[in-house]
Amino acid sequence: MTAEEYQVIAFSVAMALLGTVVILPPGIALGWLLARKEWMGKTLVETLVALPLVLPPVVTGLVLLRLFGRRGPLGSWLDQTFQTDVVFTWKAVVLALSVMSLPLLVRNVRAAIEDVSPELEQMARTLGAPEWRVFLFITLPLAKRGILAGMLLAFARALGEFGATIMVAGNIPGATTTLSVSIYQHVQLGQDETVWKLAAVSAGIAFTVLLLSEMLLKKKKG
C-alpha cells in the first residue's frame, strides 16, 4: 500500500474514534433519559435522534452544510465568536460522523440501561445515595457491556460514513478524505486495484469491530 493510502486509513480511523468520543457523553445522557424518565416531548426527541438512520445521508449532510456554513446560523456564529470554520475541514468530518453514528449509540445505551433492574437503583436511593451516585456506581457499571457494544457499533458506522461527509467536508486530499470517500474517488478513476485494497481494509475493520460488539452482547446476556 502507498503512503497516501495509509494516511487515508489512519485519518479515517482517527476521525471515527474522535467522533465516537464526542458523542459518548450526549449519547449516554440521552440513552439514560429515554430509558428511565417520562417527560413531555420524549417521543419527539426519540424521533429526532433516530432520523439520521432513515434519512438519506446526503440530506443530513445538506442540513449540516446549511447550519454550519459561513452563512448558516451556527457557522456564522462560530466564525464571529471563535474565528473558526467548520465546513470543508476535519471538524466537518467529525461533525458528520458524530451525527450519523449517534442514533446507534443512543439505542444501545438505552437498551443496556433498560436491562438494569430498577429495583437495584431504588435500593441505593433508599439507602440515601443521590441520583448521580446511583448512576455512576450502579447503573453505569451494570450497563457497561451494552454501552461498549454501542460504542463499537457507532465507530463502525462512523468509519463507513460517506454521504453526509462528502456533503459537509468534501474531498480534500490530506485534509478531509476519508476511507469511504477515497474508495468512491478511485472507483470514479477506474483504479480497481486501489479500490479493492481499501475496500478490504474497510471490510476487515468493520468485521472485527462488529465481532467484538457481538461478543460483548453475548457475554452480557450470559
Q: What per-residue confidence (pLDDT) applies to 94?
A: 98
Q: What per-residue confidence (pLDDT) applies to 52?
A: 95
According to CATH, the topology of domain 3-221 is: MetI-like fold (1.10.3720)
What ranges do the domains of the chain cover? 3-221
Instruction: Mark out the alpha helices in 55-191 (DSSP H runs).
Output: 57-68, 73-82, 90-114, 118-126, 131-134, 140-160, 163-168, 179-188
Q: What per-residue confidence (pLDDT) applies to 103?
A: 97
∠79-84-85 over CA atoms, to 5°?
A: 85
Cα distance from N-terminal residue to C-terminal residue, the chain = 41
Closest to 155 in 3D by CA, of 46, 3, 52, 23: 23
Cα-based distances in Å from 36 to 42, 59, 118, 215: 11, 32, 9, 26
Which pTM was predicted? Answer: 0.93
**From first to last of its 222 residues, what are the pLDDT tens digits of the chain?**
899 999 999 999 999 999 999 999 999 999 999 999 888 989 999 999 999 999 999 999 999 999 999 899 999 999 999 999 999 999 999 999 999 999 999 999 999 999 999 999 999 999 888 999 999 999 999 999 999 999 999 999 999 999 999 999 999 998 999 999 999 999 999 999 999 999 999 999 999 999 999 998 887 665
